[in-house]
C-alpha cells in the first residue's frame, strides 16, 4: 500500500479540511488553493489508476476540482458526517465513471508507471530484458484489474494504492464496511488466481522447435 498521509487532514495551525471548506464558502479562494494543493496528487493518482491515461487523469482532476469548488460555493452545500476526503473521492469516482462510460475502451496502460507521488517512473534505469519483463508484468496486472467489476476495482484502488481506511471507502461507495471487505477479498482472490496463472505460464520453458522434422 502507498501511505500518502493525507487522511484526517489537519494543518499545522489545527485547521481541518472542513474548516477550509467553510472559508471557501465565505469567498476565501486561498483556502481552496490550500485544499487543492493537499489533495491534487492523491486525486490525480487515483484517477490515473482508473483511466490508465495520464493526460485524461490530469483533465479529469481539474474537472473534479471545478465541481468541488462549484458545489462548495452553493448556498445549499452542507458538510457531510464523513471525512472530506470521502466526499472528494466520491466526486472523483463519479466523474471518472462518467468518462469511462463515454470512452468505452479497454485500459491498456500500466498500473505501475507512476510512483507514490503521481510522478512517472523512468524506465531508462532498467536493462532491455528487465524492462521487457517489467512491462509484461505491468500489462498483466492492468489487464487483470480491468477485468474486475467496477465496485471491486474501485475498492482495490482505494485500499491498496490510496491507503484509504475501509470505513472511508464505505462512505465513498455508499455501502457497509462489511461490503467493502467482501469486495476487497473477492478482488484480491481474483487477482491472485489470474496472476499466478500468468507467472506460471511465463516461467514455462519454450516449446521445442523442429523436433521430428
Whether this model's pTM surpasses 0.75: no
pLDDT in tens, 88-114: 999 999 989 888 887 764 444 334 334
Q: Categorize the per-residue pLDDT at 15 as very low, low, confident or very high, splitting at 50, 70 and 90.
A: confident
pLDDT at 111: 40
| CATH fold for domain 17-121+129-203 | Rna Polymerase Sigma Factor; Chain: A (1.10.1740)
pLDDT in tens, 113-123: 343 344 444 43
Extract long-range pairs of 60-67: CB within 8 Å, 24+ residues apart. 60/92, 60/95, 60/96, 60/99, 61/92, 63/95, 64/88, 64/91, 64/92, 64/95, 65/36, 65/40, 67/91, 67/95
- Of residues 179 and 130, more confidence is placed in 179
Amino acid at each position: 500500500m502507498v501511505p500518502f498521509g493525507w487522511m484526517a487532514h489537519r494543518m499545522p495551525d489545527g485547521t481541518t479540511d472542513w474548516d477550509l471548506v467553510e472559508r471557501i464558502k465565505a469567498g476565501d479562494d486561498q483556502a481552496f488553493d490550500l485544499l487543492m494543493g493537499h489533495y491534487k496528487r492523491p486525486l490525480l493518482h487515483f484517477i490515473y489508476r482508473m483511466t490508465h491515461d495520464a493526460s485524461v487523469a490530469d483533465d479529469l482532476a481539474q474537472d473534479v476540482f471545478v465541481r468541488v469548488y462549484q458545489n462548495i460555493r452553493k448556498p445549499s452545500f452542507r458538510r457531510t458526517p464523513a471525512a472530506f476526503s470521502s466526499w472528494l473521492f466520491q466526486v472523483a469516482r463519479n466523474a471518472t465513471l462518467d468518462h469511462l462510460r463515454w470512452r468505452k475502451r479497454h485500459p491498456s496502460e500500466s498500473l505501475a508507471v507512476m510512483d507514490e507521488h503521481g510522478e512517472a517512473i523512468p524506465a531508462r534505469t532498467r536493462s532491455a530484458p528487465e524492462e521487457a519483463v517489467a512491462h509484461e508484468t505491468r500489462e498483466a496486472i492492468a489487464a487483470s484489474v480491468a477485468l474486475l467489476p467496477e465496485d471491486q476495482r474501485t475498492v482495490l484502488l482505494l485500499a491498496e494504492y490510496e491507503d484509504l481506511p475501509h470505513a472511508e471507502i464505505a462512505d465513498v461507495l455508499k455501502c457497509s464496511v462489511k461490503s467493502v471487505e467482501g469486495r476487497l477479498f473477492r478482488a484480491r482472490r481474483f487477482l491472485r488466481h489470474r496472476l499466478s496463472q500468468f507467472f506460471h505460464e511465463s516461467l514455462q520453458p519454450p516449446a521445442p522447435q523442429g523436433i521430428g522434422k
